[in-house]
Amino acid sequence: MKVPYFDLSRSHQKFVHQAQEAFDHILKSGAYVLGPALQELEAEFAAYIGTKYALGVGSGTDALTFALRALDIKEGDEVIVPSFTFTATALAVIHAGATLVFADVEENTFNLDPESVVQALSRKTRAMIPVHLFGQCANMTALTAIAKQKKLKIVEDACQAHGALWDKVMAGAFGNAGCFSFYPTKNLGGIGDGGMVTTSDENLLKRVIQYRNLGKGIDDPFVHDEIGWTSRLDSLQAAFLSIKLKFLDELNRERRAVAEMYHKKLAETPLGLPREVGGAYHVYHLYVIRVPDGKRNALKEYLAAQGIPTMIHYAIPVHAQPIMKKHKTRRVKLPVTEKLREEVLTLPLFPGMTEPEVDAVANAIQRFFGK
């Protein structure tokens, strides 16, 4: 049985007619950029996350970059980030002109390790970017305590964690800013690129408003007093996301149900399975397993031969990416990161995935291990 790695069409069938009606309305209105549809989404998303404000931008990478710049993170400052993440997290620090400091992650969550953060601190440290990786929040209790003690800014990378919770608080509501991506495969994905900054800081909001729109003045659009970008979430994306937001909790429950099936069906294998830690509500953006004994690549090839595609998140940690040779960085010891890069494998998981499809994946894995 062939199993798709991801199938957007299944979840989108829930609201395809609503989306078409919204698109028709926008096409007739002519309000394609920074219009009412975006304002509506921003208000709804802020209310969902639990912040005063939300601001739509062109991508998750832009959201991170703008948040750092709005917090006056600049050349000479150090920003602590996990190396075990998508490269965009680190690129935002480079775009802001600051120095990357790579820290390690926890074995049980793959998220930023508070102890490693402490080791990475220096007199130049100004901020950290906890990444809520694969759909589970980082330990924000410990990380916010460190930030408060050391007077650090926190920019949350919640690009993989729409709807995830830590101690009943939404991802994106802990830091000075939360940053989201609306890339199509995200838990709240659009039909193109897009991103969002969440914050309760009015000054940060005003600066991001200018960054996304060519640095134009808020009171006079013909005055440019910031160096800005063209990074605006368009009305069609906003309308689609506004509709999909109403289904986000339901779609996340579907992801959790698929994850639970995997948990049960793979329990007797030697794999390391993702688990929800105490205090967290995991939304399973990805279902990432650990394959021991150097068998990850062999398992990946075996599953591919069975018609089951998989991916590796991430075979090359950010500190080992070629681009980092061109930029000043610093890092502490990364033993967990180095171990994970050799073991992790991402299995198919998406809303609407059926139990027979999960069975096909699980049965193939069991055959590989001789179960």
185 and 253 in a single domain? The answer is: no
3 lies in some domain: no
Task: Please check whether residues 241 and 261 belong to one and the same domain.
Answer: no
pLDDT tens digits for range 228-239: 999 999 999 999
> Is residue 293 situated within a structural domain?
yes
For the chain, the domain total comes to: 2
Residue 1 belongs to a domain? no
Co-location of 252 and 326 in the same domain: yes
- Are residues 36 and 184 both part of a single domain? yes
- Residue where one domain finishes, among candidates 227, 245, 263: 245
Whether 17 and 45 share a structural domain = yes
- Say if 2 falls within a structural domain: no
Classify residue 323: in a domain, yes or no.
Answer: yes
Q: State the distance between the two ends of the chain, measured CA to CA, in whole angstroms.
A: 19
Query: Letter for the amino acid at 54?
Result: A
Q: What's the pLDDT tens digit per position in 19-40?
A: 999 999 999 999 999 999 999 9
Cβ-contact 91, 113 below 8 angstroms: no
> Which among 245, 275, 291 is the end of a domain?
245
> Which CA distances in Å does 70 have to 74, 211, 288?
10, 9, 34
Residue (of 128, 125, 73) closest to 105 by Cα position:
128
Whether residue 214 is found in the same domain as residue 254 = no
The mean pLDDT value of the chain amounts to 97
**Do 13 and 124 lie in a common domain?**
yes
Which residues, in sequence order, are CB contacts of 140 under 8 Å at separation 6+?
A: 130, 166, 167, 169, 174
> Do 193 and 255 belong together in one domain?
no
Instruction: Say whether pLDDT at 257 is over 80.
Output: yes
> Does 33 map to a domain?
yes
* In a domain? residue 348: yes
Q: Is the pLDDT of residue 219 over 90?
A: no
Handedness of CA 108, 157, 181, 137 (dihedral sign): positive
Residue 353's pLDDT is 98
How far apart CA 297 and CA 237 sit, in angstroms, is 37
d(CA 52, CA 206): 13
Alpha-carbon dihedral 199, 200, 204, 207, rounded to 10 degrees: 80
Residue 1's pLDDT band, with cuts at 50, 70 and 90, is confident
Same domain, 159 and 18: yes
94: containing domain: 8-245
331 and 101 Cβ atoms separated by less than 8 Å: yes
Q: How far apart are CA 293 and CA 343, in angstroms?
A: 8
pLDDT-derived band at 247 (thresholds 50, 70, 90) equals very high
Domain boundary, last residue among 212, 245, 278: 245
pLDDT at 221: 85
Domain harbouring 327, CATH code: 3.90.1150.10
Residue range 156-164: mean pLDDT, rounded: 98
Question: 261 and 209: one domain?
Answer: no
Share above pLDDT 70 across residues of the chain, in percent, rounded to a whole number = 100
Residues 303, 234 share a domain = no
**pLDDT at residue 91, as a whole number:** 98
Residue-level pLDDT at 143: 98
Asked if pLDDT for residue 371 goes beyond 90, the answer is no
